[in-house]
C-alpha cells in the first residue's frame, strides 16, 4: 500500500452476475495476497471502484465483512464509469480504494431485532448487513426484510431473498409496485410504506435500516413512527456525488456533514439537523 | 532590529536561488496585470508592496492539474506507475500576506483523517517569502476576517518595504532563516512605514449569525442573481481547494489526474442518476458561503477566506464572495422585516 | 439619461409591464458598474448609466434563475444589442417577451469602442439618450492586436498562443459571460465520450479554446466580454474575431448587424460556393 492516497489497489474480477436488465454485481479480490490478508472493513462502508480509463465510481461494499475471499459490489449501468464496468468479465482487472465511511453500528445493534427496508437498487447496502447478522445469528433477534422494486424483474439478489427466509427467525417480505407483478407472483403488491404497515412488524427492541429513494423514505418514516420506532433507532445510508472519498475534494457535503467521512450511515435524528442539501 | 536588504541584493539572491536549481515564483507583469508565475531570472519579479496579483500562490503547492498516477492497460493486465515527484526546493517570493496566510488554513483539510501526500510534498518543498502590504484597494478585506496587511502566518520570512529601495527582512521560521543566512546586512535604522489597513467591510459575527439560521432564506436566490456560475472566483482564491479526479488518456494508457473544480459549476454535485442537490446558482452560492464561513470554521477553527479580494476583482459580474458577504451584512434577520436585497 | 432610465423602469414595473429590470448598478462612486435585477419600482434608484457600464447584460437571458423572474426589461448598449439579434435569429429569445431599453453610448473605454459602429442601439423598444459622434479618424486607435498578430509568421503565432494558454485555468469565465454560449450542457462537460480534456493542461486548454471559437464562428458579435472576464488576461476574443473576419470575407456576414441576414451556419443556398470540396 503506497502512501499515495489516491492510488487504488488492483483487483482481480472473480465473478460477474447479472441481477437485472441494468444491474450487475461483481466479486473481486486483491491481486496482492498480503493486502487481501490485512484488509478488513465494516459493513455499510463503501469503496471507490475504478474502471481504468473511464474513472472511479462509489459503491457500497455489499458483501459481508466476515467473508475474507472477496469483496462484492453492485451497480446500475448509468454513466461513463458504470458503462465501462458493464463490460468487465471474470479475469479482468479493476481498481479499489477504501474502505471509506462509517459503516453500520452492528455492535450497538446486538441483542436487538433488525428491520431492513429497501427499494430497488437499495438492496446491496442492506444485503451486507443481513448476511453479517446471519453470520452472527445469536447476536441478533428477529430479522425482518421488506424489499420491493417496481417490477419482479427489478428485484436484485432475488435468490438470496428466498434463502434468507429459510433461516430461523427471519421473515422476508418481497413486494412489487402495483402493475409490476407477474401471474405467478407470490409476494406482496403495493408501495413500500403500505407494505411495511401491513406487515405488522414488532418494533419493540428493534432498529430499522431504511434505504431507498427520498420519496420512499419520506413516506415510510411515519409508518415506522406509528410502529413505535424512535428517530435514533432508524438508520439510513445516504448517497452523494463523490470523488475523493476522504473529505478533501469538497463535493459530498450535505450542510456541515461530509457524507464520505462522517457518513454515509446516519440516524434519522442526525438527518433532521442536516439541511436540505442532498 | 531586523536586518535590511536592498532591492538589488534581493534580486541577486533570487538569481542565486534560480542558478542553484530551485524553482522560484514571484509576481510578474503580464498582459497588463500582475500574476504569480515561475520565473527564470530576478528581473521578471515585481516586488511592489502596493499591488496584489490577480491569482494566488496555491498553484505552486496544489497545482491546477496534477498527475496522481499513470496506468497502462495491456489486455486484462493493468499496471500503475507513481508519478516522479518534484523534489526541487521551491521559493515563492513577494507573496502577499493574504496568500501566505491561506496555506496553514488549507493544511487542515489536506490532513483531515488522512494525509494528502501530493499536497504535503508541495508544502514541504516550498518556502514562502511574503511582502507586507503598504496599500490596499476597495476589494481588500483581510481585516474583516481576522488578518492584516502584515500578517506573518504562513510566511517563512517577511519583507517590509521601507520605501527607499530597501526592505526590512524578518525571518520567521527555520526555513526562512536558512534562505537568508548567507546574507548579512546592517539592521534597520528607520522604523518601517505603516501602510493603512482596509476598513472593515462587514461584521463577521453578523455573517455567522445569518448563516446559523438562514439556510432557507430567499436571500440566496435574490442576492446571487448576478452570478454567472464560472470559476473565476474559486480559481483565483487562495483558499478554495475543491477538486475533480478524472482519467485521461488513450485505450492503452493514461493517467488519473486531479484538477481544480468549483462548487459554482452546475455539474459539481450532479449524480449519475440525474438528481442534483444543487441545481440552481442560489444553492451553489449558498454552499460557497457556508463552506467558507460556517463549515470550515466549525470543523477546523479557521475561516476559509483570507480577505484577499481576488473574487471581487475577478468576478465578471462584480459579485465575488465579498459581494455576497456585504449583501448579507446589509440583511436584518427578522423575517417579517427583511430588507430588500441590494445587489 | 439616468433620470429618464429610472423613470422608464419605474413606470414599467409599476404597470407590471415587466417583472424585472436587468440593468447596471453601482455600489460606490468611481466603482465599476455591475448587473442589478430590479423587481420593485421603489428600487429603480439603484440603476445607473455611464462609461463604466462594460457588461453585456444579454447574457442574463440564458440564465434560468433570471428567466424565472418573469418578463424582463433589458438595458443594452449597441454592441450588446447585436447579441440580441443573433439570439432572436437562433430562436433563443422571443423578442415580444422582452422590453429592450437601448442606451445611446459614448463608449466604455474599451479597445472595441474605438472602432464601434453601433453607438446607438437600433431595435430598442425605447431609446434613451443621443450618442456622441461616432469615433472618426481623428481619434487614433491603438494598434489592433489582431492585426499585429496576423502579420506574424505562423510559428510566432503558435508560440504566442502556447504562452497565453499556459495561463488558462479552465475557469470558463469566457463561456459563462458569453450570451451566445447557451448550450444546456457544454461539450466540455460531456464525458461519453470525452472530446475535450477538462484539465488545464496545454492540450486541454487548446482543445477548449479552439472548440469554443469554432462553435462561435460567424456567431460572435465581438462584445469583448470574454477577454474582459478572463482572470489570466488572455485575449481569448482574438480567436473569435479572427473567425468573424473570415465570415465577413467569405460570406459578407457580420453577426448581429442585419436581423434579416441568414446566419452562415444556419442557412444554405444553392449558390453557396462548393469549390473547396475536393
Residue A67: which CATH number? 2.40.30.10
Q: Which chain A residues have any C-beta within 8 angstroms of a chain B C-beta? A: 2-8, 10, 50, 52-57, 78-79, 82, 91-93, 95, 239-241, 243-244, 246-251, 253-256, 261, 275-278
For residues B312-322, give the mean pLDDT.
96
Q: What ipTM goes with this model?
A: 0.94
Give the pLDDT band of residue C275 (cuts 50, 70, 90): confident
Range of the domain at A206: 113-237
Question: Which of left, alpha, beta for B332 (phi over 0: left; psi -120 to 50: alpha)?
Answer: beta
CB A41 within 8 A of CB A49: no
**A92 with A127, same domain?**
no
**A94 with A22, same domain?**
yes
B143 touches chain C (CB under 8 A): no
For residues C46-66, give the mean pLDDT.
95
Range of the domain at B25: 4-337
Record: contact A249-B283, CB cut-off 8 A: no
Provide, as residue numbers in chain B, all residues whose Cβ is less than 8 Å from the Cβ of C177.
228, 230, 316
Torsion over CA: A251, A257, A261, A265 (sign): negative
pLDDT given for residue B183 in this prediction: 66
Task: Give the closest-approach CA distance of C195 to chain A in angstroms.
Answer: 13
Provide, as residue numbers in chain C, all residues whose Cβ is less than 8 Å from the Cβ of A83.
192
Report in angstroms the alpha-carbon separations of A182 from A160, A165, A178, A190: 19, 21, 10, 13
pLDDT given for residue B185 in this prediction: 67
Nearest chain A residue to B264 by CA distance is A251
Q: Is residue B343 part of a domain?
A: no
**C116 with C177, same domain?**
no
**C186 with C118, same domain?**
no
Provide, as residue numbers in chain C, all residues whose Cβ is less than 8 Å from the Cβ of B314.
173, 231
**A87 with A131, same domain?**
no
**A18 with A49, same domain?**
yes
Return residues 210-269 of B near C (CB < 8 Å).
Answer: 221-222, 224-226, 228-232, 234-236, 244, 246, 248, 257, 259-260, 262, 265, 267
**C124 with C156, same domain?**
no
**C27 with C72, same domain?**
yes
Range of the domain at C170: 145-251
- Rg of chain B over CA atoms, in angstroms? 22
CA distance B201 to B292: 17
Final residue in a domain of this structure, among C100, C128, C156: C128
Give the pLDDT band of residue A259 (cuts 50, 70, 90): very high
Residue C139: pLDDT over 50: no
Residue C132 C-alpha cell reads as 456622441
Average pLDDT, chain A: 95
- The domain tally of chain C equals 2
CA distance B337 to B169: 53
**C8 with C122, same domain?**
yes
Q: Which of B78, B242, B298 sits opposite A93 (nearest CB)?
A: B78
For residues A107-117, give the mean pLDDT.
98
Report in angstroms the alpha-carbon separations of B91 from B23, B32, B157, B179, B183: 6, 24, 11, 9, 16
Q: Which of B82, B116, B271 sits opposite A241 (nearest CB)?
A: B271
**C124 with C152, same domain?**
no
- Read off the pLDDT of residues C215-265 as tens digits, 9 standing for 90 and up: 999 999 999 999 999 999 999 999 999 999 999 998 899 999 999 998 998
Provide, as residue numbers in chain B, all residues whose Cβ is less than 8 Å from the Cβ of A261.
112-113
pLDDT given for residue B158 in this prediction: 96
Q: Is residue B191 part of a domain?
A: yes
pLDDT given for residue C137 in this prediction: 43
H/E run at residue C207: helix C202-215
pLDDT given for residue A2 in this prediction: 53
- Read off the pLDDT of residues C180-221 as tens digits, 9 standing for 90 and up: 999 999 999 999 999 999 999 999 999 999 999 999 999 999
- The domain tally of chain A equals 2
> Burial of C148 by CB count in 10 Å (0-12 exposed, 13-18 middle, 19+ buried)?
exposed
**A38 with A76, same domain?**
yes
Nearest chain B residue to C189 by CA distance is B267
pLDDT given for residue C29 in this prediction: 80
| Cross-strand partners of A210 | A117
CB A220 within 8 A of CB A250: no
B261 touches chain A (CB under 8 A): yes
CA distance B124 to C47: 51
Could you tell me whether strands C98-103 and C72-76 are parallel, antiparallel, or unpaired per DSSP bridges?
Answer: parallel
pLDDT given for residue B31 in this prediction: 87
Task: Give the closest-approach CA distance of B61 to chain C in angstroms.
Answer: 15
CB C56 within 8 A of CB C79: yes
Nearest alpha-carbon partner for A154 in A277, A14, A23, A39: A23
- The domain tally of chain B equals 1
How many Cβ atoms are within 10 Å of B186's Cβ, its own excluded?
Answer: 8
- Read off the pLDDT of residues C21-46 as tens digits, 9 standing for 90 and up: 999 999 878 788 999 999 999 999 99
Q: Is residue B19 part of a domain?
A: yes
Residue A155 C-alpha cell reads as 428485484
Record: contact B267-C55, CB cut-off 8 A: no
Touching subunits of C (3+ CB pairs, under 8 Å) are: A, B
Nearest alpha-carbon partner for B296 in B88, B145, B141, B173: B145
Give the pLDDT band of residue B318 (cuts 50, 70, 90): very high
pLDDT given for residue C147 in this prediction: 92
pLDDT given for residue B341 in this prediction: 57
Task: Give the closest-approach CA distance of A225 to chain B in angstroms.
Answer: 26
Q: Is residue A251 part of a domain?
A: no
Touching subunits of A (3+ CB pairs, under 8 Å) are: B, C
- Read off the pLDDT of residues A159-179 as tens digits, 9 standing for 90 and up: 999 999 999 999 999 999 999
Touching subunits of B (3+ CB pairs, under 8 Å) are: A, C
For residues C4-21, give the mean pLDDT.
97
Q: Which of A77, A80, A83 has the most C C-beta neighbours within 10 Å, making it the best mutation to test the interface with C? A: A80
Could you tell me whether strands B157-161 and B126-131 are parallel, antiparallel, or unpaired per DSSP bridges?
Answer: parallel
Provide, as residue numbers in chain B, all residues whose Cβ is less than 8 Å from the Cβ of A256.
290, 294-295, 298-299
Provide, as residue numbers in chain B, all residues whose Cβ is less than 8 Å from the Cβ of A251.
242, 261, 263, 268-269
Residue C156 C-alpha cell reads as 510566432
CA distance B46 to B28: 6
Regarding pTM above 0.90, the answer is yes
Q: Which of C69, C172, C231 sits opposite B314 (nearest CB)?
A: C231
DSSP-derived 3-state class of residue A111 = coil
B107 touches chain A (CB under 8 A): no
Q: Is residue C134 part of a domain?
A: no
Q: Is residue C214 part of a domain?
A: yes
Q: Is residue B342 part of a domain?
A: no
**C119 with C184, same domain?**
no
CB B109 within 8 A of CB B148: no
Residue B151: pLDDT over 90: yes
Q: Is residue C264 part of a domain?
A: no
Q: Is residue C274 part of a domain?
A: no
**C185 with C69, same domain?**
no
Q: Is residue C12 part of a domain?
A: yes
Nearest chain B residue to C27 by CA distance is B343
pLDDT given for residue B336 in this prediction: 43
Task: Give the closest-approach CA distance of B73 to chain A in angstroms.
Answer: 8
**C69 with C14, same domain?**
yes
Report in angstroms the alpha-carbon separations of B132 from B43, B306, B313, C42, C274: 20, 14, 20, 45, 64
Lowest-confidence region among A35-44, B1-10, B151-160: B1-10
CATH number of the domain to which A159 belongs:
3.40.50.80
Residue C134: pLDDT over 80: no
pLDDT given for residue B338 in this prediction: 46
B342 touches chain C (CB under 8 A): yes
Packing angle, helices B204-213 and B320-329, rounded to 10: 80
Q: Which of C66, C177, C198 sits opposite B244 (nearest CB)?
A: C198
Residue B214 C-alpha cell reads as 438562514
pLDDT given for residue C185 in this prediction: 93
Query: What is the per-residue burial (b if ≥16 Cβ within 10 Å, else e) of C5-16?
Result: bbebbbebbeee
**A94 with A132, same domain?**
no
Amino acid at each position: 500500500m503506497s502512501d499515495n492516497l489516491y492510488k487504488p489497489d488492483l483487483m482481480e474480477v472473480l465473478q460477474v452476475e447479472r441481477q437485472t436488465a441494468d444491474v450487475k454485481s461483481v466479486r473481486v479480490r486483491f491481486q496482492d495476497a498480503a493486502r487481501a490478508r490485512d484488509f478488513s472493513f465494516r459493513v455499510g462502508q463503501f469503496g471507490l471502484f475504478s474502471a481504468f480509463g473511464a474513472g472511479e465510481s462509489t459503491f457500497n461494499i455489499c458483501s459481508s465483512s466476515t467473508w475474507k475471499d472477496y469483496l462484492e459490489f453492485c451497480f446500475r449501468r448509468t454513466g461513463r464509469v458504470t458503462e465501462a464496468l458493464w463490460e468487465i468479465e471474470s479475469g479482468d482487472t479493476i481498481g479499489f480504494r477504501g474502505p471509506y465511511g462509517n459503516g453500520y453500528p452492528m455492535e450497538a445493534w446486538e441483542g436487538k431485532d433488525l428491520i431492513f427496508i429497501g427499494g430497488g437498487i437499495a438492496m446491496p447496502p442492506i444485503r451486507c448487513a443481513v448476511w453479517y447478522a446471519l453470520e452472527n445469528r445469536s447476536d441478533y433477534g428477529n430479522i425482518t426484510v421488506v424489499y420491493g422494486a417496481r417490477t419482479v424483474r427489478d428485484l436484485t439478489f432475488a435468490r438470496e431473498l428466498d434463502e434468507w427466509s429459510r433461516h430461523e427467525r427471519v421473515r422476508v417480505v418481497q413486494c412489487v409496485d402495483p402493475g409490476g407483478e407477474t401471474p405467478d407472483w407470490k409476494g406482496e403488491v403495493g408501495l413500500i410504506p403500505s407494505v411495511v404497515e401491513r406487515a405488522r412488524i414488532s418494533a419493540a427492541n428493534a432498529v430499522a435500516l431504511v434505504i431507498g429513494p427520498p420519496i420512499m423514505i419520506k413516506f415510510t418514516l411515519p409508518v415506522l413512527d406509528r410502529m413505535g420506532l424512535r428517530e435514533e433507532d432508524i438508520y439510513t445510508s445516504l448517497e452523494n456525488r463523490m470523488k475523493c472519498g476522504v473529505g478533501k475534494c469538497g463535493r459530498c457535503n450535505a450542510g456541515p456533514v461530509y457524507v464520505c467521512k462522517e457518513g454515509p450511515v446516519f440516524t434519522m435524528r442526525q438527518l433532521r439537523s442536516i439541511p436540505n442539501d442532498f | 532590529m531586523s536586518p535590511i536588504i536592498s532591492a538589488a541584493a534581493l534580486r541577486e539572491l533570487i538569481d542565486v536561488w534560480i542558478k542553484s536549481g530551485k524553482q522560484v515564483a514571484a509576481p510578474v507583469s503580464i498582459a497588463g496585470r500582475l500574476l504569480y508565475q515561475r520565473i527564470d531570472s530576478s528581473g521578471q519579479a515585481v516586488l511592489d508592496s502596493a499591488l496584489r496579483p490577480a491569482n494566488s500562490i496555491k498553484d505552486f503547492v496544489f497545482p491546477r492539474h496534477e498527475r496522481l498516477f499513470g496506468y497502462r492497460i495491456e489486455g486484462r493486465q493493468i499496471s500503475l506507475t507513481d508519478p516522479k515527484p518534484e523534489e526541487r526546493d521551491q521559493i515563492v517570493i513577494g507573496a502577499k500576506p493574504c496568500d501566505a496566510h491561506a496555506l496553514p488554513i488549507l493544511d487542515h483539510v489536506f490532513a483531515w483523517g488522512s494525509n494528502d501526500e501530493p499536497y504535503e510534498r508541495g508544502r514541504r518543498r516550498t518556502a514562502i517569502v511574503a511582502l507586507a502590504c503598504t496599500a490596499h484597494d476597495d476589494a481588500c478585506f483581510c481585516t474583516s476576517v481576522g488578518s492584516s496587511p502584515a500578517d506573518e502566518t504562513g510566511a517563512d520570512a517577511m519583507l517590509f518595504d521601507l520605501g527607499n529601495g530597501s526592505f526590512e527582512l524578518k525571518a520567521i521560521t527555520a526555513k526562512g532563516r536558512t534562505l537568508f543566512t548567507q546574507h548579512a546586512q546592517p539592521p534597520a535604522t528607520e522604523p518601517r512605514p505603516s501602510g493603512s489597513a482596509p476598513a472593515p467591510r462587514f461584521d463577521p459575527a453578523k455573517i455567522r449569525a445569518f448563516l446559523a439560521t438562514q439556510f432557507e432564506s430567499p436571500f440566496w436566490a435574490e442576492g446571487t442573481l448576478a452570478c454567472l456560475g464560472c470559476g473565476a472566483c474559486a480559481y483565483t482564491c487562495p483558499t478554495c481547494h475543491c477538486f475533480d479526479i478524472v482519467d485521461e488518456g488513450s485505450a492503452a494508457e493514461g493517467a488519473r489526474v486531479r484538477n481544480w473544480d468549483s462548487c459554482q459549476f452546475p455539474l459539481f454535485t450532479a449524480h449519475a442518476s440525474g438528481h442534483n442537490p444543487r441545481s440552481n446558482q442560489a444553492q451553489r452560492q449558498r454552499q460557497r458561503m457556508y463552506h467558507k464561513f460556517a463549515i470550515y470554521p466549525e470543523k477546523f477553527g479557521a475561516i476559509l477566506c483570507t480577505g484577499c479580494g481576488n473574487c471581487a476583482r475577478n468576478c465578471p459580474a462584480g459579485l465575488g464572495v465579498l459581494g455576497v458577504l456585504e449583501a448579507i451584512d446589509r440583511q436584518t434577520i427578522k423575517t417579517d422585516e427583511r430588507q430588500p436585497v441590494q445587489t | 439619461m439616468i433620470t429618464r432610465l429610472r423613470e422608464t423602469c419605474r413606470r414599467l414595473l409599476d404597470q407590471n409591464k415587466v417583472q424585472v429590470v436587468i440593468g447596471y448598478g453601482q455600489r460606490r462612486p468611481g466603482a465599476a458598474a455591475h448587473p442589478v435585477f430590479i423587481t420593485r419600482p421603489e428600487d429603480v434608484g439603484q440603476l445607473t448609466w455611464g462609461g463604466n457600464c462594460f457588461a453585456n447584460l444579454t447574457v442574463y437571458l440564458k440564465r434560468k434563475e433570471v428567466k424565472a423572474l418573469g418578463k424582463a426589461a433589458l438595458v443594452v448598449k449597441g454592441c450588446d444589442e447585436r447579441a440580441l439579434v443573433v439570439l432572436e435569429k437562433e430562436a433563443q429569445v422571443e423578442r415580444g417577451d422582452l422590453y429592450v431599453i437601448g442606451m445611446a453610448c459614448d463608449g466604455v473605454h474599451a479597445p472595441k469602442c474605438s472602432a464601434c459602429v453601433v453607438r446607438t442601439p437600433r431595435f430598442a423598444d425605447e431609446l434613451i439618450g443621443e450618442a456622441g459622434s461616432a469615433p472618426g479618424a481623428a481619434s487614433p486607435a491603438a494598434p489592433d492586436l489582431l492585426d499585429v498578430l496576423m502579420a506574424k509568421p505562423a510559428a510566432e503565432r503558435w508560440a504566442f498562443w502556447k504562452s497565453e494558454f499556459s495561463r488558462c485555468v479552465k475557469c470558463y469565465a469566457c463561456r459563462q459571460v458569453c450570451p451566445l454560449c447557451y448550450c444546456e450542457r457544454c461539450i466540455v462537460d460531456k464525458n461519453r465520450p470525452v472530446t475535450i480534456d477538462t484539465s488545464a493542461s496545454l492540450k486541454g486548454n487548446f482543445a477548449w479554446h479552439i472548440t469554443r471559437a469554432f462553435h462561435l464562428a460567424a456567431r460572435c458579435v465581438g462584445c469583448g466580454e470574454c477577454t474582459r472576464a478572463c482572470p489570466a488576461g488572455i485575449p481569448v476574443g482574438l480567436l473569435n474575431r479572427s473567425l468573424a473576419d473570415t465570415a465577413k470575407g467569405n460570406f459578407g456576414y457580420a453577426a448581429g448587424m442585419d436581423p434579416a441576414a441568414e446566419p452562415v451556419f444556419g442557412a444554405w443556398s444553392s449558390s453557396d460556393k462548393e469549390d473547396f470540396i475536393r
